[in-house]
């Protein structure tokens, strides 16, 4: 049962992240070239040294050719993968396993998404030919279901919960204001967040992550080779993934106050990393704040807060940039938007900066373990990724 893990067997020796935003002047291939070039430079390597590539993109292109043609990679393995909003993280996970297996010495995980070219509001997906009975609920609608369910279960007044959700958005924007790569680099007052136009249920515009373009990349090798490439590599402690049986869509037992997939993947990750008390041991985390109630529920599913208590931790500032357990120190999806294939790598990029002491005004003091988390799908029917990384 569960996974064996590859704790301390794989290192990240170079990373890159393009600015996220509205890149009207750049296509997905341009973003890939920018991210890959910067990643080679970060690891101090030539492109020829990379043995294999994993490219994550949800819908901005197809096949390994998207990358090999853009970078003119000569006849090497390029795997294109997709796993909903966890796509970027999946690139890291699969690339890490490839070097851990010994099949390759040096690999790149890269992700990209170009969302702004569609001209549509919010995320849009296309379905394979189907019978026309698929739900047309939008992402904010499905995630909005978390808020009233949480309020009811734990006896939180709706007005209080609105403040809790707003504070999550406020906190992430506050962090993002200090990040030169973020799409939105301004603090947003609580009042503006609370009064933003409704999108779904209790959620206003400021409860939702933005829509942007971006790309990010990582160079990975086996741990024993790490110091060949980098003075300050970071090491993979855990990689976990859970795809659910969609039980919440069929079973009346599901109550919309948890993601069982997140519980399973975080528990697995803690076991791999030897983490006993995530509230105490995880120094910081980049989590999937696609909508504010998602981040709230994640705090409990990951064990950062006891059940029914995360809302208090949020109000107490526990997860603030200067708090005891900063969550989304780079600004999160809230400040970066969510170019799907790139987001998981963007999260890892913040771990890379923080663990190496390179996060500038956002720098957290002496972080030991960082966690990244992606969620794809909807409450009741989703996939979840969790990684844990550390400097030593």
Structure tokens at 355: 């663990």
Catalytic residue among 17, 85, 194, 208: 85
Task: Pick between residue 199 and residue 375 the one whose CB is nearest to other proteins.
Answer: 199
Structure tokens at 23: 């890149």
- Are 10 and 326 spatial neighbours (Cβ–Cβ below 8 Å)? no
60 binds other proteins (CB under 8 A): no
135 binds other proteins (CB under 8 A): yes
Q: How many CB atoms lie within 10 A of CB 372?
A: 28
- Are 351 and 370 spatial neighbours (Cβ–Cβ below 8 Å)? yes
- Are 369 and 283 spatial neighbours (Cβ–Cβ below 8 Å)? yes
Q: Rounded to the nearest 5°, which phi and psi values hold at 374?
A: -125, 150
Binding positions for other proteins, 256-275, rule CB under 8 A: 256
Q: Rounded to the nearest 5°, which phi and psi values hold at 78?
A: -125, 115
| Alpha helices, H only, 177-305 | 190-194, 226-229, 247-250, 260-273, 278-281, 292-301
- Are 330 and 179 spatial neighbours (Cβ–Cβ below 8 Å)? yes
Work out whether strand 78-81 and strand 369-378 pair parallel, antiparallel, or are unpaired. Answer: unpaired
Q: Rounded to the nearest 5°, which phi and psi values hold at 342?
A: -95, -25
Q: For other proteins, which stretch binds (CB under 8 A), given 93-101, 240-248, 266-274, 334-342?
A: 240-248
Give the distance between the most distant pair of CA atoms in the chain: 60
Residue from the set 1, 74, 102, 121 that interacts with other proteins by CB under 8 A: 121
Binding positions for other proteins, 99-118, rule CB under 8 A: 118
Binding positions for other proteins, 184-223, rule CB under 8 A: 197-201
Residue from the set 159, 245, 306, 361 that interacts with other proteins by CB under 8 A: 245
The question of whether 290 is a catalytic residue gets the answer no
Residue from the set 1, 4, 74, 119 that interacts with other proteins by CB under 8 A: 119
Residue from the set 74, 129, 155, 366 that interacts with other proteins by CB under 8 A: 129
Residue from the set 246, 271, 308, 363 that interacts with other proteins by CB under 8 A: 246
The question of whether 221 is a catalytic residue gets the answer no
Task: Pick between residue 50 and residue 149 the one whose CB is nearest to other proteins.
Answer: 149
Catalytic residue among 208, 338, 373, 382: 338
> Least distance (Å) from other proteins to the CB of residue 9?
34
Task: Pick between residue 204 and residue 278 the one whose CB is nearest to other proteins.
Answer: 204
> Would you say how long the chain is, in residues?
392
Task: Pick between residue 200 and residue 353 the one whose CB is nearest to other proteins.
Answer: 200
> Least distance (Å) from other proteins to the CB of residue 201?
4
Stretch 144-173: interaction string toward other proteins, x if CB under 8 A: xx--xx------------------------
**How far is the C-alpha of 325 from the C-alpha of 314, rounded, in Å?**
11
Task: Pick between residue 201 and residue 341 the one whose CB is nearest to other proteins.
Answer: 201
3-class state of residue 314 by DSSP:
helix
65 binds other proteins (CB under 8 A): no
Q: How many CB atoms lie within 10 A of CB 2?
A: 10
> Least distance (Å) from other proteins to the CB of residue 198?
5
Q: What share of the chain is helix, strand, coil (3-state, %, to 5)?
A: 40, 20, 40
Tell me, by CB under 8 A, how many residues bind other proteins: 39
3-class state of residue 180 by DSSP:
coil
Residues forming contacts to other proteins in the complex (CB under 8 A) are 118-122, 124, 126-127, 129-133, 135-138, 140-142, 144-145, 148-149, 197-201, 245-247, 249-252, 254, 256, 380
Q: List active site positions.
A: 85, 338
């Amino acid at each position: 049962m569960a996974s064996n893990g590859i704790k301390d067997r794989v290192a990240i020796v170079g990373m890159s992240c393009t600015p996220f935003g509205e890149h009207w002047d750049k296509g997905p291939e341009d973003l890939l070239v920018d991210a890959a070039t910067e990643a080679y430079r970060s690891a101090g390597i030539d492109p020829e040294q990379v043995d294999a590539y994993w490219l994550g993109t949800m819908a901005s292109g197809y096949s390994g050719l998207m990358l090999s043609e853009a970078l003119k990679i000569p006849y090497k393995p390029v795997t294109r993968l997709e796993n909903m909003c966890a796509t970027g993280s999946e690139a890291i996970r699969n690339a890490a396993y490839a070097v851990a297996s010994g099949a390759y010495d040096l690999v790149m995980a890269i992700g990209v998404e170009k969302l702004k070219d569609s001209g549509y509001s919010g995320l849009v997906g296309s379905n394979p030919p189907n019978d026309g009975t698929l739900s047309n609920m939008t992402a904010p609608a499905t995630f909005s279901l978390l808020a009233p369910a949480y309020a009811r279960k734990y006896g939180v007044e709706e007005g209080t919960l609105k403040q809790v959700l707003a504070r999550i958005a406020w906190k992430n924007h506050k962090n993002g204001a200090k990040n030169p790569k973020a799409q939105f680099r301004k603090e947003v007052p609580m009042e503006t967040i609370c009064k933003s136009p409704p999108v779904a249920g209790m959620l206003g515009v400021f409860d939702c992550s933005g829509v942007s373009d971006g790309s990010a990349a990582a160079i990975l090798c086996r741990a024993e080779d790490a110091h060949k490439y980098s003075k300050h590599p970071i090491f993979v402690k855990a990689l976990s993934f859970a795809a659910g049986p969609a039980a919440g869509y069929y079973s009346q037992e599901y109550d919309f106050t948890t993601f069982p997939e997140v519980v399973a993947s975080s528990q697995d990750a803690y076991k791999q990393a030897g983490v006993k008390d995530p509230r105490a041991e995880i120094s910081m985390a980049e989590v999937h704040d696609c909508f504010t109630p998602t981040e709230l529920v994640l705090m409990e599913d990951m064990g950062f807060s006891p059940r029914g208590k995360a809302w208090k931790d949020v109000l107490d500032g526990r997860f603030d940039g200067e708090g005891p357990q900063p969550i989304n120190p780079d600004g999160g999806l809230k400040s970066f938007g969510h170019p799907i294939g790139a987001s998981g790598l963007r999260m890892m990029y913040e771990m890379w900066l923080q663990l190496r002491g390179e996060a500038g005004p956002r720098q957290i003091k002496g972080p030991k373990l960082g966690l990244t988390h992606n969620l794809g799908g909807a409450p009741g029917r989703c996939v979840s990724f969790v990684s844990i990384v550390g400097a030593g």
